[in-house]
């Protein structure tokens, strides 16, 4: 199995080569959870931890930074003892980009929501850049810096100030006593937090953290861009529909979306990605456009006005509720069709019926589109493909598939849509041969 196939099974596991090395690691049972040792910390890996070695064994260490020396405590032994997971519990030599964490709930054994509260924003973005370059190098065999002819910058999304107060949708876990909190890293344990610094203040202003939620297993709070925040008691409470506004250079879109459905959580994210894709794909009147993994249809809406009634947009989405909202959101555009189906089945059918597309937008979930969808998208012959991705490993792998089918990677932008965490969003554009 080659590296790219490995990534398709588990993009999360596509670290910086250390996992492969870890497979040949030390014998099982040599070390126990809770054991402590001092390590020199190496590069960042996909997933927010850094790679270190202890007596020849690979250790994935959280709460640290490349170049640091830390005392690490083992938190988990990987399958077959192939690698260890550990937390840095004491910093013996600090990296220059280390800062005191603004959030009192972050740190070893505490809330698992943020990975990088202990890193300044520039440092977080540098780590994200390193992960992206590593994934493209490993999975696409592409030196992205050389390919782009510039240093990739992980950019702030529009409106981001200090990386705090941005999260407009937060799911708090609720314990058996009805107390809300956030989960510990890789655990079902609930840490009963009294604040969350990355949450939009309007989320906290609902009082969600100062009230109990008897009978709920979780409580979702959504602070939409239009109207008041809503609190959803999971699983039995009503699930209201909210409205989200996307401000583009020349117009505004307003869409309905379920309070439990997919919507970008950073308030500047949707407009940043839609503007980037529109700019790069440069739609023309009469174009046939496909919006794959369409959600409630934000990309379809943005393209519809441009292609006009001589063109067409088909939005393909698998989720029933999202599809219903997409139909409502796009009802004003007769040239838009919303199809509820799995994308792999829909594009297969299109290829079989010898359909063509001029432009394709792909915005898949974390696992990416995968080999077959990439092959079939290429088979539709679009002149340009825009790919929006939240996982650099899945994107790198799928860009590789599209390159195999003759497409050329024109550009990539990376956005810090999830500050304080290791997560990011990327947009890539590929052109037909």
Annotated binding residues, written as ranges, equal: 264, 293, 317, 363
Under rule CB under 6 A, which residues in 323-342 are in contact with ligand SAM?
342
Instruction: Compose the 210-249 pattern: x for residues touching ligand SAM by CB under 6 A, - for all others.
Output: ----------------------------------------
- Look up tokens 């070893």; give the residue: 108
**317 belongs to the binding site for ligand SAM (CB under 6 A):** yes
Can you tell me the distance from the alpha carbon of 322 to that of 317, in angstroms, rounded to the nearest whole number?
A: 7
Least Å from the CB of residue 342 to ligand SAM: 4
- Residue 390 catalytic? yes
Instruction: Compose the 28-57 pattern: x for residues touching ligand SAM by CB under 6 A, - for all others.
Output: ------------------------------
Q: Which is the catalytic residue, given 50, 111, 114, 390? A: 390
Least Å from the CB of residue 169 to ligand SAM: 12
Q: Could you give the count of Cα atoms lying within 13 Å of 362 in the half-sphere of its Cβ?
A: 34
CB 14 within 8 A of CB 138: yes
Instruction: Compose the 364-403 pattern: x for residues touching ligand SAM by CB under 6 A, - for all others.
Output: xx--------------------------------------
> Binding residue for ligand SAM (CB under 6 A) from 154, 343, 360, 426?
343
Helix spans in 163-319 (H): 201-204, 269-281, 298-307
**155 belongs to the binding site for ligand SAM (CB under 6 A):** no
Characterize the bridge pairing of strands 57-62 and 50-54. antiparallel
CB 80 within 8 A of CB 28: yes
**Is the CB of 44 or the CB of 330 nearer to ligand SAM?**
330
CB 242 within 8 A of CB 233: no
365's CB contacts (< 8 A; 6+ apart) are 293, 390
Least Å from the CB of residue 163 to ligand SAM: 22
Least Å from the CB of residue 241 to ligand SAM: 15
Instruction: Compose the 295-314 pattern: x for residues touching ligand SAM by CB under 6 A, - for all others.
Output: x--xx---------------
CB 105 within 8 A of CB 95: no
Q: Which stretch binds ligand SAM (CB under 6 A): 3-11, 15-23, 111-119, 294-302?
A: 294-302
**267 belongs to the binding site for ligand SAM (CB under 6 A):** no
> Binding residue for ligand SAM (CB under 6 A) from 17, 318, 370, 381?
318
**134 belongs to the binding site for ligand SAM (CB under 6 A):** no
Can you tell me the distance from the alpha carbon of 288 to that of 286, in angstroms, rounded to the nearest whole number?
A: 7
> Binding residue for ligand SAM (CB under 6 A) from 76, 171, 319, 431?
319
> Binding residue for ligand SAM (CB under 6 A) from 26, 156, 265, 322?
322
> Binding residue for ligand SAM (CB under 6 A) from 293, 303, 401, 418?
293
Instruction: Please tell me the total number of residues recorded for the chain in this structure.
Output: 433
Secondary structure of the chain: what % helix, strand, coil (to 5)? 25, 30, 45
User: ∠ CA(84), CA(85), CA(89), 5° rounding?
Assistant: 125
Burial 182-197, CB ≥16 within 10 A → b, else e: bbbbeeeebbbbeebb
Least Å from the CB of residue 300 to ligand SAM: 9
Can you tell me the distance from the alpha carbon of 220 to that of 234, in angstroms, rounded to the nearest whole number?
A: 7
- Look up tokens 């402590």; give the residue: 36
**Is the CB of 61 or the CB of 265 nearer to ligand SAM?**
265
413's CB contacts (< 8 A; 6+ apart) are 155, 276, 426, 427
Can you tell me the distance from the alpha carbon of 334 to that of 348, in angstroms, rounded to the nearest whole number?
A: 25
Report the binding-site residues for S-adenosyl-L-methionine.
264, 293, 317, 363
**363 belongs to the binding site for ligand SAM (CB under 6 A):** yes
**Is the CB of 98 or the CB of 355 nearer to ligand SAM?**
355
Can you tell me the distance from the alpha carbon of 233 to that of 190, in angstroms, rounded to the nearest whole number?
A: 17
By C-alpha distance, which of 274, 199, 247, 248 is closest to 425?
274
Q: Which residue is nearest to ligand SAM (CB)?
A: 295
**Phi and psi at residue 232, in whole multiples of 5°?**
-115, 115
**Is the CB of 342 or the CB of 356 nearer to ligand SAM?**
342
The residues assigned a catalytic role are 390
**Residues of this chain that bind ligand SAM (CB under 6 A):** 262-263, 293-295, 298-299, 317-319, 322, 342-343, 363-365
């Amino acid at each position: 199995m080659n590296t790219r196939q490995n990534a398709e099974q588990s993009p999360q596991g596509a670290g910086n080569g250390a996992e492969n090395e870890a497979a040949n690691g030390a014998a099982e049972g040599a070390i126990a959870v809770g054991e402590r040792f001092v390590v020199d910390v190496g590069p960042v890996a996909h997933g927010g931890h850094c790679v270190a070695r202890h007596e020849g064994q690979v250790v994935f260490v959280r709460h640290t930074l490349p170049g640091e020396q830390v005392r690490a405590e083992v938190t988990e032994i990987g399958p077959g003892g192939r690698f260890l997971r550990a937390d840095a519990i004491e910093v013996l030599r600090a990296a220059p980009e280390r800062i005191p964490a603004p959030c009192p709930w972050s740190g070893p054994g505490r809330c698992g929501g943020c990975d990088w509260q202990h890193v300044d924003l520039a440092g977080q973005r540098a780590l994200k850049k390193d992960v992206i370059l590593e994934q493209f190098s490993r999975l696409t065999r592409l030196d992205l810096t050389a390919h782009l002819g510039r240093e990739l910058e992980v950019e702030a999304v529009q409106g981001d100030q200090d990386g705090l107060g941005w999260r407009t949708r937060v799911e708090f876990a609720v314990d058996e006593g009805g107390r809300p909190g956030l989960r510990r890293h890789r655990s079902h344990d609930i840490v009963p937090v009294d604040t969350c610094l990355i949450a939009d203040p309007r989320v906290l202003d609902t009082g969600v953290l100062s009230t109990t939620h008897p009978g709920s297993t979780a409580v979702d709070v959504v602070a939409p861009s239009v109207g008041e925040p809503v609190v959803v008691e999971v699983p039995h409470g009503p699930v209201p529909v909210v409205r989200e506004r996307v401000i583009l250079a020349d117009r505004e879109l307003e869409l309905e979306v379920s309070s439990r459905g997919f919507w970008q959580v950073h308030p500047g994210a949707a407009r940043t990605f839609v503007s980037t894709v529109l700019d790069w794909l440069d739609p023309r009147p009469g174009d046939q456009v496909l919006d794959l993994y369409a959600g409630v249809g934000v990309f379809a809406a943005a393209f519809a006005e441009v292609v006009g009634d001589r063109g067409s947009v088909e939005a393909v989405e698998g989720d029933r509720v999202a599809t219903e909202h997409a139909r409502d959101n796009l009802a004003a555009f007769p040239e838009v069709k919303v199809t509820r189906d799995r994308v792999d089945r829909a594009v297969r059918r299109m290829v079989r019926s010898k359909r063509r597309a001029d432009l394709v937008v792909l915005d898949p979930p974390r696992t990416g589109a995968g080999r077959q969808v990439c092959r079939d998208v290429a088979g539709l012959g679009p002149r340009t493909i825009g790919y929006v991705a939240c996982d650099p490993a899945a994107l790198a792998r799928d860009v590789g598939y599209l390159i195999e089918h003759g497409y050329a990677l024109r550009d990539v932008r990376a956005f810090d849509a999830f500050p304080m965490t290791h997560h990011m969003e990327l947009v890539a554009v590929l052109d037909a041969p």
